[in-house]
Amino acid sequence: MAYRKWTLTKKLALLILIAAAVSGLSFILLQAASNVWIERHVESDAYVKRKSAAYAAKLAEYVDANRLASSDQEALTAWIKKQRNLILMVYKDGELRYDSLFYYEGETTYRIEVQTDYMREHAIPVRFSDGMGSVIIDGFFSAWYFNLFFTIELLTATAIFLGIVLLGIRRSLAYLRTINDEIHILEGGELDYAMSVRGHDELAMIAESIEELRKAFLDKLQAIEALQEESRSLVTEMSHDLRTPLTSLIMYLEFAKKETAHLAPEANSHIVHIVNAYQKALQIKSQSDNLFAYFLLDKEQAVEPETLTVQEAIYDLVSDLGGVLQQEGFRLRMNGELPQVYITVNLEELGRVFDNLISNLLKYADPREEVVLSLDYAQGRLELRLSNAIRLTDDAPVSTGLGEKIMAKLMSRMDGEFDRSISGSTYTAILRWWPTKLS
């Protein structure tokens, strides 16, 4: 089904048009209502007479205080300027002595005007210094109300416009927040979480693109996992297939070694070949065991590590390491002390790490040189360093690095880290933790 594509630009333009129409109509209706109210209450004759009388009283006070005559046009102009939106006309003896609409500075000419009904009705007597006169005060008394209501109407229409726009984009903003939250879920590794695709605008297109990316990435991961599972199965099968004949070969070579005791001295070359073959067979068995163990690590169900003191976690393992090295003719020197901190370990897996360390020392370390075990705790990090001189003889086995990879995986499962360094002829294995202090 084909959908009409409403882009965000089109949606926003339509929303603004609707908001403008509604706010404009509201402004017109409010203005009409305010005009009716002003006409009924502010522009009525009673209100105008009341305001005129009030201003006339103020003018009378001003005239009396300054002893003004009806002809003091400049003083009257000064007073009228202080008022707002007023018109003042002063009459005396049937003459128009002052008109604020037509006054020019320096004008002294008076004119006689016929008294109209409006003048008789709205004239208010005021006593001047030159005798009794009358004034007519008129003004735009509704101007203040017009300005007030116009401001209220404008603010109300603006608020309506903004309210409609904000309400209209609220759904898009909520959807944008949803997309942001779902992206954070995917960042956390929850690739099975499907993105929410709503509508057909640009936001929906972005969500759909992220969803397609998620599916493609998940398919890639599943394909990689399938390949890894296939390779693990292949290695497992090969290891089983290799172990059976290899075990038989080692057994036959052991028998052959025992039979060499009865051979004549001239058969020494055959004895050497048998011993070398036996050593190579043992080496192949060791490498196949390491390979088998490495690929089986991912299949093993990870055991929840526990938090122990360093003393509880590694003291016995370090003691066993020292005992084995001493039996094999190595010299071990220890630097540092066990700190009073907690580390996260699995004792069984940590034991396998130390077994690999011992195996590597026996295979590759020079027994003539001292093995150094150092413990260093600084800046919230605990490091156990095991350094040895590398054996450089011709019969030294070649390392494949599988043991190091196994130790790295085991340490990572215990929230730790394995590292190694080679400086000249010195090899150093490093076990690293980020412990917490004892409370």
pTM for the model: 0.46
Q: What is the pLDDT of residue 383?
A: 92
Q: What is the pLDDT of residue 24?
A: 94
Structure tokens at 407: 């130790």
- CA–CA gap between residue 364 and residue 367 (Å, rounded): 9
pLDDT digit string, tens, across residues 383-411: 999 999 998 866 656 666 778 888 888 88
Q: What is the pLDDT of residue 302?
A: 60
Here the contacts of 241-250 (C-beta below 8 Å, separation 24 or greater) are 242/288, 243/285, 243/288, 246/281, 246/284, 246/285, 246/288, 247/285, 249/281, 250/278, 250/281, 250/282, 250/285
- CA–CA–CA angle 432, 343, 292 (5° rounding): 60
Q: What is the pLDDT of residue 21?
A: 95
What single string gives the DSSP state of each residue in 167-218? HHHHHHHHHHHHHHHHHHHHHTT-TTPPPP--SSSHHHHHHHHHHHHHHHHH
CB 299 within 8 A of CB 232: yes
Q: What is the pLDDT of residue 1?
A: 39
Closest CA to 160 of 36, 28, 13: 28
The stretches in the chain having pLDDT less than 70 are 1-5, 103-120, 239-240, 243, 252, 260-271, 286-287, 290-303, 393-400, 437-439
Q: What is the pLDDT of residue 402?
A: 76
